[in-house]
Amino acid sequence: MLDGFDETPLLDRLKWILALLLVVFLAAPSFIVIPMSFSASEFLEFPPPSLSLRWYAYFLESITWTQAARASFVAGTLTTAIAVPIGVLAAYGATRLGPRMRLLVGGVVVLPAVIPAILIAIGLYFVLARVGMVGTMAGLVLGHVALAIPVVFVVMSAAFSQFDFSQERAARSLGATWRQAWLGVVLPQIGGPILASALLAFVTSLDEVVVAMFVSGGSNATLPKVMFAALRDKIDPTIAVVSTVLLVVATGAVAVILCKGTAGVKP
pLDDT value at position 237?
78
Higher pLDDT, 13 or 140: 140
Query: For the segment 93-131, what is each residue's pLDDT rounded down to a tens digit?
Result: 888 877 888 888 888 888 888 888 888 899 899 988 888
Residue 89 lies in a domain: yes
138 vs 119: CA distance, rounded Å: 19
1 vs 199: CA distance, rounded Å: 43
Residue 183 lies in a domain: yes
Residue 8 lies in a domain: no
Helix/strand/coil for 135: coil
Range of the domain at 210: 70-263
11 has a pLDDT exceeding 70 = yes
Query: For the segment 53-84, what is each residue's pLDDT rounded down to a tens digit?
Result: 888 888 888 888 889 889 999 999 999 999 99
Give 28-80 as a DSSP string. Answer: HHHHTHHHHHTB-SSS--SS-SSB-SHHHHHHHH-HHHHHHHHHHHHHHHHHH
**What's the mean pLDDT when you consider all of the chain?**
82
pLDDT value at position 1?
47
Q: What is the CATH classification number for the domain harbouring 128?
A: 1.10.3720.10
pLDDT value at position 265?
39
Residue 140 lies in a domain: yes
Residue 176 lies in a domain: yes
Query: For the segment 164-214, what is each residue's pLDDT rounded down to a tens digit?
Result: 777 777 877 777 777 777 777 777 888 888 888 898 899 889 888 899 988
Residue 148 lies in a domain: yes
pLDDT value at position 246?
80
Residue 30 lies in a domain: no
SS3 percent helix, strand, coil of the chain, rounded to 5, is 80, 0, 20
Check whether the bond before 188 is cis (ω within 30° of 0). Answer: no
Q: What are the Cα distances from residue 57, in Å, to 37, 60, 61?
A: 11, 5, 6
Residue 124 lies in a domain: yes
The answer to whether residues 120 and 112 touch, using CB atoms and an 8 Å cutoff, is yes
> How many domains is the chain built from?
1
Q: What are the Cα distances from residue 66, in Å, to 4, 61, 70, 226?
A: 63, 8, 6, 11
